[in-house]
Amino acid sequence: IDKNSTRLIEDLQRFLEEYMGFGDFIFRLPDGTEVARAGNPRELLERLREVPIESILHHARQQHFSHWMMARTEIRIAEQLYPKQVDDFAAPEELRRFLIRVIETVLYEKQSDIITRFIPGRSPYEVQFMRLGEGSLGGKARGIGFLRYLLSRLDLRRFFPDITIQIPPTLVICTGEFSRFLEDNHLAAAAVQGKLPFAELQARFLTAEVHPELARDLRAYLLALRAPIAVRSSSLLEDSLHLPLAGLYATYMLPNNEPTVEERLASLLAAVKLVWASTFGDSPRAYYRQTSYRLEDERMAVVVQTLGGGRRGGYFYPSFSGVAQSHNFYPVAYMKPEDGVAQIALGLGKTVVEGGAIVRFCPRYPLLLPQFANIRDWLYFTQKDFYGLDMTVIEGPRDAATMDRLKLLPLAEAEAQRVLPPVASVYQPESGLLVDSFFYDGPRIVTFQKVLRNPRLKLGELLSSLLTVSEKAMRTPVEIEFACDLPEEGRPVFYPLQLRPMAAKKRWEQVKITVEDKARAFCYSETAHGNGSYRGICDLVAVDPDAFEISRTREIAREIGEINRRLVAEKRSYVLVGFGRWGSTDPWMGIGVSWAQISAVRVLVEVGLKGFNAEPAQGTHFFQNVTSLNIGCLSVPYRSNSFLKWEALAGITPLHTTAHLKLLRWPEPLTIRIDGRIGEAVLLLP
C-alpha cells in the first residue's frame, strides 16, 4: 500500500478484504483469474468440492484458508489448518479432502449441541436443527437431536473418509402449536371422543386455520428451502422405550416445487394438519386401548426434514434405504444377537418399514445372507418394485389422497436412471448364475452384493459402529433408520434419519417347554418372539388354507377387521393364524392388517407355504409395536422343524365363518407357552 496514493482508503479496504480475510474468499488460479467466491465458511466448504485443484494449491501455499477462517473467529478451523504445508500431502487431492474434512467436522460439531429457535432468514443448510413454537420436540425429534450429538462426537468422518455422513436439515414444529390449533378451532372434543369417521375429522382439520404467526414462519422457512421435504410425526410418546407407536401416525413427502411460495406453503400446511389429525386415527386408538396411556394426553409435534437422495427423472429417491437394529432376535450360523441386523431396499424406506421385500444382513458379517439359500430364493423373494416421490407439481384440493405422493415404480425405472446397476445383479438362465455386469440380458435381481462389498462405503462396518455407540449411549438396544445415495459422480452420501430405543423386554417369565408339550402341540415354532404363558385365550381366528389365495390378501385383512370388531365388543382376545408376513403392505409378502384390524390379538402365527415363505420381519414398524405389547409371534416356515397341524383344527365346528376365515372357540382356554430365551413356542388345544 502506498501511503501517498490518492486512493489510500480504497487500497486499504481492498488489502483488508483480499489479504487479511475480511471480505469474500475469492478463489483464484496462479495467474490471478477468479474462479469462485465464498461469503461464509459453509459456502467455502461447497466451493472446495468443485474448484480446480490448482486454485486450492495456490491459496494453501500462502495460508489464505487459515487467515480467512481466523478473521471470522473460526479459531478451531484455523488452528488445524495453519500448521499444515502443501508438502505434507502425498497428492494434491489429499489436501482437498483434508480441508473439507476439517471444515465439515467443526461446522457440524458447532451445531450438534444446539437446537436453535427458528429465526426468519436463517438458512436451514447453515443452522441444521431448528425449533418453531413452544412445548416439546416430541420423541422422534429428540431421537434425531441425540443422533446429531452422537455423530459429532464419534468423528466418523476420520474412519470413513470416502463417504459423506450427514443428517438432513430439520425443523421441528413443537407441541404447543398442536395444542393452540385444537383450541383456536374448537377441535379437541370432537377429536378425542372419536365419534366422527376419521375421513371427516381429517376434512375438519384441513379446513381449520393455523395461527398466522406459524404460517408466516413456515413461509419464511420455505423461502430458503426448495428441496423435497418429509413431514413426519413426533408425538410426546412416540419412539419411547415402552411405547414406540411406530408407523401409527402419518408421514407425508412433498416435492416442494410449486411455482409460488404461497402454493408450497399451502401444501406444507395441509401436510402438517394431516399429521396432527393422525393423532386421532383408528390405529392409534386401537393401540392405546392395549396400554395404560390415554389418547387425550397425547400431543403432536411435527418434523419437517429435507429428503435425502436425488432427483431421477420425474421422481426423487435415494439409492437405498434401511433399518439397522443392535439386537438380532433371529440370529443364524455364528451370528450372535448382539451383532445386530440390518434390512435394506432400493428407493425410499417405505418398503422396509412396511414389510416389503428386502435384503437382510448382519453388519458384522455383511456377505453372509442365509435369507437366500439358492437362486430360486433370489428370483422370487427380492424386490420387483420400489418407492419414489412423484415430483409432479401438486394441483387441486390438498386432501389426504392428493398429498400421498409416493409411487410404486418398476425396477426398469431405476435402471433407466442408472440407479439400479450399483445395487443389483443380472440372472443368466443359461449358466444359472448371478453376475454383476448389466452388459448381459436377463432378470435384474436386487442383491446389494456390490454395495455390501464396496470398500469405500464399508456399509457393514459403518452400521456396526453406529449401533454399538448408540446402544452404549442409550443403555438399551437401539434401532436406526437411514438412507444412502450413490451418485454417479462424487462420494456416497449416508443419511442417518432416526434413532430410537428398541421396545423394552418385559421381565422374563420362566417358561419350560417339555418334550411332552411338543408331542401334544397342534402348533410348534422354533422361531418365536415374545415370552411367557398367554392365559385366558379361548378364541382362534384362522385363515382357511383351502380358501387362501395370495391375490386376496387385502380382502382377508378386511374380514379380519370385521371379526376383530366383534371380539373387541365381546372383550375377548384371540390367536390369529395366517400365511406369509403379518402387517406387510406388500400383498405378495403377507396379509397387510392394520392395528385397528387386530387390536384384540394376543398371539400371531405366520405360516409359510411353498413359494410364499416370508421370513420373520424385524425392521418393520409392525414388529416394533408387536414387541412393545409382548404380543406373541410364532413363525412356521415351510419345510422346517416348526409345524402347524391343520387336521387338528379341521374337526372343530367354527363359531363363525367368512369367505376366507374361521373363528374357533373352546369352553376352556388354549395352552400357549413361549420361551423367549431360546425362541421356542407351543400351542396346545384344551
* pLDDT tens per residue across span 509-552: 678 889 999 999 999 999 888 888 899 999 999 999 999 998 89
Whole-model pTM: value is: 0.78
Alpha-carbon distance 479 to 376, whole Å?
Answer: 31
Do 63 and 159 have their domain in common?
Answer: no
Do 62 and 162 have their domain in common?
Answer: no
Q: Which amino acid is at 170?
A: T
Tell me whether residue 422 is in a domain.
yes
Tell me whether residue 509 is in a domain.
no
Alpha-carbon distance 523 to 682, whole Å?
Answer: 6
Do 300 and 359 have their domain in common?
Answer: no
The number of domains in the chain is 4
Instruction: Compute the Cα dihedral for 100, 102, 107, 108 and give only its sign.
Output: positive
For residue 15, what pLDDT is reported?
Answer: 57
Do 103 and 121 have their domain in common?
Answer: no
Do 346 and 409 have their domain in common?
Answer: yes
Residue 175, C-beta contacts closer than 8 angstroms, at least 6 positions apart = 135, 136, 138, 236, 299, 300, 301
Is pLDDT at 322 greater than 90 in this prediction?
Answer: yes
Do 628 and 579 have their domain in common?
Answer: yes
Tell me whether residue 285 is in a domain.
yes
Tell me whether residue 3 is in a domain.
no
Do 242 and 334 have their domain in common?
Answer: no
Q: Which single residue is written with the C-alpha cell 413431514?
A: 231
For residue 354, what pLDDT is reported?
Answer: 86
Alpha-carbon distance 307 to 318, whole Å?
Answer: 9
Is pLDDT at 155 greater than 80 in this prediction?
Answer: no
Do 149 and 94 have their domain in common?
Answer: no
Alpha-carbon distance 98 to 105, whole Å?
Answer: 11
For residue 18, what pLDDT is reported?
Answer: 57
Alpha-carbon distance 104 to 101, whole Å?
Answer: 5
Nearest one of 245, 252, 249, 244 to 279, comparing CA atoms: 249
Tell me whether residue 508 is in a domain.
no
- Own/partner long-range contacts of 497-500 (Cβ < 8 Å, ≥24 apart): 497/144, 497/167, 497/168, 497/305, 497/308, 497/349, 498/140, 498/143, 498/144, 498/147, 498/239, 499/143, 499/144, 499/146, 499/147, 499/150, 499/470, 499/474, 500/139, 500/140, 500/143, 500/239, 500/244, 500/246
- Up-side HSE of residue 424: CA atoms within 13 Å toward CB? 28
Do 471 and 578 have their domain in common?
Answer: no
Tell me whether residue 629 is in a domain.
yes
Give the confidence band of 411 by pLDDT, cuts at 50, 70, 90. very high
Looking at 285, 307, 329, the residue that finishes a domain is 307
Which domain CATH number covers 136? 3.30.1490.20
* pLDDT tens per residue across span 229-281: 999 999 988 877 667 777 789 999 999 999 999 999 999 999 999 999 999 99
Of the two residues 557 and 40, the one the predictor is more confident about is 557
Do 461 and 602 have their domain in common?
Answer: no
Is pLDDT at 505 greater than 60 in this prediction?
Answer: no
Residues spanned by the domain of 631: 515-684
Is pLDDT at 571 greater than 70 in this prediction?
Answer: yes
Tell me whether residue 639 is in a domain.
yes
* pLDDT tens per residue across span 597-643: 998 999 999 998 877 776 766 657 777 777 777 788 899 988 889 99
Instruction: Compute the Cα dihedral for 45, 47, 53, 55 and give only its sign.
Output: negative
Looking at 278, 307, 336, the residue that finishes a domain is 307
Looking at 307, 337, 356, the residue that finishes a domain is 307
Do 439 and 498 have their domain in common?
Answer: yes
Q: What angle do helix axes 212-223 and 261-277 make, rounded to 10 degrees?
A: 120
Tell me whether residue 396 is in a domain.
no
Which domain CATH number covers 441? 3.30.470
Do 330 and 439 have their domain in common?
Answer: yes
For residue 72, what pLDDT is reported?
Answer: 81
Is pLDDT at 21 greater than 60 in this prediction?
Answer: no
